[in-house]
Amino acid sequence: MKKAIVVLEAEPGMERLLFDCLLINDFWLYVCRSYGLGEGCTAIYAVPIEHCHEFEEFMHELIRLRVAKNVHVYWTTCFQGGRITPEWFDDNKNQWNFQWDRWTKEIQTQTIELPYTLIEPEAYPVYADELDVRMLEKLEVDAAISFNKLAQILGISPQLARFHYCEHLIGKNLIEGYQIFIMQYGDLPSLMVLFIISFDNYEKFAKFAKSLLNKSFVLMMAKAIGDNTLLTEVFLPIGEFRNFIDKLSELANMKIVRSYKYIIQDLRIRRRQTIFPKMFKEKSWIYDHKTYMTMLSQKVSQFLLKLEQMQYRI
């Protein structure tokens, strides 16, 4: 499966329709309304490698149907999850202390070794079987589930559940990692923001990315395939969000960062789903492109008809 982060700007009046259209393709993992680069959506998909071209066709059909003004598909590596660490926490004051100047200096002293999640894969083999995929679905719902409970749900023995977990899910890196997310700023107004940060070369990209591995405000990182671009989702108090942007501007002047842009997540309107066992049969994924395109066209036609009827009554 190849990961895709999609950034879309909606045509005016089509914002909700755009969100609903993105759910038609069964391979979505996360869809959220967003703003910053116009009103629109950001979405994350996991796409069977042999259907990437069809997936892009589905996305760009949204422009032809005049639901979206702009669509950008970023094919990425695996995702590196953030970590809750005490790195920038002041125990005496019991609050976070964002040391942006210190971070700027850290970047320049980093090595370029990165975890495998941020390294471009050479191939996309299917290591999982149907039981592995079913187990992954349940673990996404409850990562702390016991082998006994997992076995009971799946109708297998605890021994078999343990074998698949140890030898397949862990042994073949089917689990990229675990992530704990907490609202760590209490009642302080905060933002969840997707940043797209580009660099002139791999060394600058790698040093920057490595400097974020132990930062608790980072929720996710991924490298764009074939490009020295980092996509990272951060969670920051509004004031610190602006300070982060100030530092990115400073890093651009220092020629460490080439360019950056960001999209703010509208957390009021979002959907998330687990991996999809129903789409996996006999060690391959079922991607029904024709059905997705038909459903997309029908949904837009129904919306326009309803809109026309409302305007007629007015």
Q: Which pLDDT score, from 0 to 100, does residue 127 have? A: 84
How many whole angstroms separate alpha carbon 166 and alpha carbon 19? 38
Assess whether pLDDT exceeds 70 at residue 75.
yes
* Look-up of token digits 């799946």: 154
Q: What span, in angstroms and rounded, lies between the C-alpha atoms of 39 and 8? A: 8
Q: What is the pLDDT of residues 126-139, one digit of tens each?
A: 888 899 999 999 99
CA-wise closest residue to 211 among 251, 255, 253, 258:
251
Instruction: Kindly state the average pLDDT of the residues 285-309.
Output: 92
Q: What is the pLDDT of residues 2-44, one digit of tens each?
A: 999 999 999 999 999 999 999 999 999 999 999 998 899 999 9
Q: Are 82 and 88 in contact (CB under 8 A)?
A: no
pLDDT of residue 313: 61
Rounded CA-CA distance 194/203 in Å is: 22
pLDDT of 209 strictly over 80: yes
**Paired sense of beta strands 40-47 and 28-35, if any:** antiparallel
How many angstroms separate the CA atoms of 167 and 181, rounded?
27
Collapsing DSSP to helix, strand or coil, 131 comes out as helix
DSSP assignments along 198-215, one per residue: E-SSHHHHHHHHHHTTT-
pLDDT for position 312: 62
pLDDT in tens, 179-205: 777 777 777 889 999 999 999 999 999
Domains by residue range for the chain, with CATH: 2-76+276-313 (3.30.70.920), 83-118+181-264 (3.30.70.920), 130-170 (1.10.10)
CA-nearest of 147, 81, 88 to 117 is: 81
Give the C-alpha separation, 263 to 251, whole Å. 19
Contact 158, 205 (CB under 8 A): no
What residues form DSSP beta bridges with 76? 3, 224
Note the pLDDT of residue 314: 54
pLDDT digits (tens, 9 = 90+) for 219-253: 999 999 999 999 999 999 999 999 999 999 999 99
What local confidence, expressed as pLDDT, does residue 110 receive?
95
DSSP characters over 231-265: EEEEEEEHHHHHHHHHHHHHHHHTTS--EEEEEEE
Is residue 179 helix, strand or coil? coil
Whole-number pLDDT of residue 68 = 97
With beta carbons less than 8 A apart as the criterion, state whether 32 and 274 touch: no
Sign of CA dihedral 43, 48, 52, 54: negative
Residue range 262-271, pLDDT digits in tens: 999 999 999 9
Rounded alpha-carbon distances, angstroms, from residue 123 to 2, 46, 119, 204 = 10, 15, 12, 25
Tens of pLDDT along 156-184? 999 999 999 999 999 988 887 777 777 77
Position with higher pLDDT, 187 vs 80:
80
Write out pLDDT tens, residues 97-143.
Answer: 889 999 999 999 999 999 999 999 988 888 888 999 999 999 988 88
pLDDT at 81: 83
pLDDT digits (tens, 9 = 90+) for 50-73: 999 999 999 999 999 999 999 999
Amino acid identity of residue 241, one-letter, is F
pLDDT for position 90: 77
Q: For 33-56, how does the pLDDT look when each residue is reduced to its tens digit (9 = 90+)?
A: 999 988 999 999 999 999 999 999
Mean pLDDT, the chain, rounded, equals: 92
The answer to whether the beta carbons of residues 252 and 259 sit under 8 Å apart is yes
